[in-house]
Amino acid sequence: MKSPLVMLAIVLLVSGSFYSTIKLCGYTYIHSIFSLITMPSIIILLIGKAMKNKNEKTKVSVFFSSLLPLIAIFNVVSTFVASGLNSSNAMLMYNVVYSLVVLRRSLRLFFACVGVRVVRIGLGIVYSIVVIPALSMLVIMLLIILPFMILDSLSSRELPPFVTRTVVRSELSPNSIFLAEIVDADAGATGGSTFVYVTPLNSDLNLFFGTLKKDTQMIYRGRWGEFDTMTLRWESDKILYINKKQYV
């Protein structure tokens, strides 16, 4: 396939679908250095070539250029969700910068490549209403994350969170497949909650381009301070009793 614009759309679609499938299967994607460098490099290269070939008017290229901002939105949302919304500041910064580049360039390619006036005006209005606020929000996120990254680099301590989470008690399943934890979430004057999380152990899938980490599941939420009287007991690797009530 010789069209860089079509290749760009396919790469964004395939990677977005991959990220979505990962999350639906209950995994978080952890990038390797290879994927952190390779994927953005491929996308930037294809964007540059597509801009040079913006006068390409084949039916396939026109079709994909018309849908490119929509494909880009799908890709960046999937990327954020798959890599975890509670990831480190550095990873969050990476995702924000990646999203800024992909969304901005996809919108520019749309206006540069779509020549049909009705499509250009109609879809252009829709895409602008969606993409421009998204770009503004990403810039704001960038300005918020940057000071925290600087503070993190200047201090060996983690910044105090708004909610203090303390593991009160933990129990391994019989065959050490799962770890159940009672967590005290203290929000200070606003109160708090008691959670029970179940974490799969030794379930990571190491791939050449990254690692799939099985998500921790929150299976119980109760009132703050409840952890003092809570009971936690595994009957098997699949059955957990919390306060004598069965959870699977």
- Whether the per-residue pLDDT at 158 is higher than 50: the answer is no
How high is the pLDDT of residue 201? 85
- Whether the per-residue pLDDT at 160 is higher than 60: the answer is no
Model confidence over 9-63: pLDDT tens digits?
A: 999 999 999 989 988 888 888 888 888 889 899 999 999 998 888 777 778 888 8
In this prediction, residue 150 has a pLDDT band, given cuts at 50, 70 and 90, of low
- Whether the per-residue pLDDT at 232 is higher than 60: the answer is yes
Token representation of residue 92: 């969050």
> What Rg value do the Cα atoms of the chain yield, rounded?
23
**Under 8 Å CB-to-CB from 150, ≥6 apart: which residues?**
none
How high is the pLDDT of residue 42? 93
How high is the pLDDT of residue 154? 42
Average pLDDT over residues 228-248: 84
**Can you state the angle between helices 117-154 and 59-82, rounded to 10 degrees?**
30
- Whether the per-residue pLDDT at 156 is higher than 50: the answer is no
Token representation of residue 225: 């301070």
In this prediction, residue 163 has a pLDDT band, given cuts at 50, 70 and 90, of low
Q: How far apart (Å, rounded) are the C-alpha atoms in residues 117 and 93? A: 37
**Under 8 Å CB-to-CB from 51, ≥6 apart: which residues?**
108, 109, 112
* φ, ψ for residue 188, nearest 5 deg: 70, -130
Q: How far apart (Å, rounded) are the C-alpha atoms in residues 225 and 171? A: 19
Average pLDDT over residues 50-78: 87
pTM over 0.85, yes/no: no
Decide which of 49 and 166 is more confident: 49
In this prediction, residue 103 has a pLDDT band, given cuts at 50, 70 and 90, of very high
DSSP readout, 49-92?
HHHHTTT---HHHHHHHHHHHHHHHHHHHHHHHHT-TT--HHHH
How high is the pLDDT of residue 71? 94
* φ, ψ for residue 121, nearest 5 deg: -75, -50
Task: Please report, for residues 21, 69, 92, the alpha-carbon distance to residue 164 in angstroms, rounded to integers and kept in the order given.
Answer: 32, 40, 21
How high is the pLDDT of residue 167? 86
For residue 177, what are the β-bridge partners? none
Q: How far apart (Å, rounded) are the C-alpha atoms in residues 69 and 109? A: 9
Q: What percent of the chain has pLDDT over 70?
A: 87
